[in-house]
Structure 1
Amino acid sequence: MYKNPDSVLLKELKSGDEKAFDVLFLKYYKLLIANAYFHLKDEQEAKDIVQEFLFELWDKKLYMKLEGDIKGYLYRAVQNRCINFHRKQALEQRRFAFISRETPDSQEEAENTELSLSRLRNALDDLTPQRKEALQRVFFEEKKYQEAADEMGVSLNTLKTHLKIGIRNLREKLSPR
C-alpha cells in the first residue's frame, strides 16, 4: 500500500515534507494503537498515547535525530509511553493512599475510588490557598521542592511547612470516622 520505504519517508520528513508525515501516520497509526492496546488494555488510552506521541514526533521534530528504518523506534517509543502511563497511575494511587492513609485492600474500596477522589478534591478545596498550591505543585505537578518554592516565591522551609500542615489537614479530613 505504501511504496516508500521508511528511509525515504525519513529523508522527506527531514526536508520538511508534511505529506511524508501523513504517509508515516497512515502507515503506522493502527499498528501503534494495537501495540499500545496490548500494554494498556484500554482502546481510548491507547489512541490517546499514540496520537500524543505522533503529534510530539512532528511538533518537536523528533524525527530529525533518527536514521534508517524508524519502525522499531516508533514501537519502542509507544511502548515506553505505555510503561510511563502505568507508572504514573501507580504513583497517583500511592500518593492518594499516602495522603489518606488508606490502602485499597478490597474490591469495595476499588469501586469507591471515584468517591474517594471526590472527597480528596473537597478536602483540597478546604485548605488555605498556599497549602493547596504547595500540594498541587509537589504531588500533582511532580515538581521538586526547590522548584515549587521558587515558583511560589517562598523559601524551601516555608514550602515544607505548607506541605507538612497540608498533608496533616488532609489526613484529618479523609480519615475514616
Structure 2
Amino acid sequence: MKRAEEILAALKNGEEKAFKTFFSEYHDVLVLYATNILKDVDAAEDVVQDCFMNVWENSLYDNLSNGLDKYMFHLVKNAALNELRGSKRREARHEKMMAEMPVVEMMKEDEQTEIDILYTTINQLPPERRRIFMMVCAEGKKYQEVADQLQISINTVRTQLMRSLKFLREKLKEQMFSILLFCWKKVKIRF
C-alpha cells in the first residue's frame, strides 16, 4: 500500500495525526509546484495553505477511494491558476482606472490637506489594526509575513485588513478612498 493511500485510510478513520503527517509530507512539494505556476513563493504558500484547509474543513478526502496526493496536486493547480487569473484581472482593472484618471502635475495646497485628512483617518484605526494595515499597505508585506511577525493567523490579518478598509471607506469621501487605494497600487489588497 502506498504512503498516500495509508494516509487517506487514516483520514477516513478520523485520525487527526494523519492530516498532520499528510501536511508535513506534501506541503513543501505542493508549494514548489504552486510557485512554478505563480512565480511567487508567498502567493504559493497562501494557495497551498488554503487548499489544505479546504480539504480538512470540508472533509474532501471522504469521497476519494485513492489518489489523495493526485487530488491535492490537482486542487493546488486549479487554485494557483485561479489566483493567477484573479491577479491579472485586478491589474487590468487598476490600469484601466489609472488611464481614466486625470494626470496630477504638482501637489496643490488643498491636496496637502487631503493627504493630512487621509493620514489622520488612518490614525483613527485601533493600534493593532492600523499596524496590520500599514505593514500590508505601506510596507508591502505579504499576509503570511505579517502573520508570522505578529504571531497571529493569516485569517486574522485578512479580517483586520478588511475591517480597516471598510472603516476608511466609510470615513473618507469616495474620491479620497480611491486615492488611498491608488497610493498603494503595487500592494495586492485582496478583496
Shorter-normalised TM-score: what interval?
0.5 to 0.7
Q: Residues 97 and 71 (structure 1 numbering): CA distance in 2 closer, same or farther, change over 3 Å?
A: same
Residue in 1 that maps onto 2:14? 16
Partner Cα separation in structure 2 for residue 44 and residue 89 of structure 1: 14
Partner Cα separation in structure 1 for residue 11 and residue 169 of structure 2: 49
Aligned ranges for residues 153-164 of structure 1 at < 5 Å?
none
TM-score (norm 2): 0.51
Aligned length: 114
Residue in 2 that maps onto 1:56? 54
1:40 aligns with 2:87: no
- The alpha-carbon deviation at position 101 of structure 1 amounts to 3.6
Partner Cα separation in structure 1 for residue 19 and residue 99 of structure 2: 48
Could you tell me which of 106, 115, 126 is aligned with 2:173? 126
Residue in 2 that maps onto 1:6? 4
SS in 2 for 1:68: coil
- What letter is aligned with 2:173? D
Residue in 1 that maps onto 2:25? 27
SS in 2 for 1:16: coil
TM-score (norm 1): 0.55
What is the root-mean-square deviation of aligned Cα atoms in Å? 3.1
**Which deviates the most, 25-34 or 64-73?**
64-73
Q: Deviations over 1:66-107 (max 9, x none)?
A: 22122111111111111001111111122223434459xxxx
SS in 1 for 2:174: coil
Q: Residues 24 and 123 (structure 1 numbering): CA distance in 2 closer, same or farther, change over 3 Å?
A: closer
- The alpha-carbon deviation at position 123 of structure 1 amounts to 9.4
- The alpha-carbon deviation at position 26 of structure 1 amounts to 1.2
- The alpha-carbon deviation at position 5 of structure 1 amounts to 2.1
Partner Cα separation in structure 1 for residue 50 and residue 14 of structure 2: 20
Structure 1: tracts of 5 or more residues without a match: 104-113, 116-120, 133-139, 142-177
* Structure (1 or 2) with the larger CA radius of gyration: 1
Partner Cα separation in structure 2 for residue 77 and residue 123 of structure 1: 35
Runs of 4+ in 1 over 6 A off after TM superposition: 121-124
Structure 2: tracts of 5 or more residues without a match: 102-136, 139-164, 179-189
Among all aligned residue pairs of Structure 1 and Structure 2, give the percentage whose two residues are the same amino acid: 26
Partner Cα separation in structure 1 for residue 58 and residue 169 of structure 2: 38
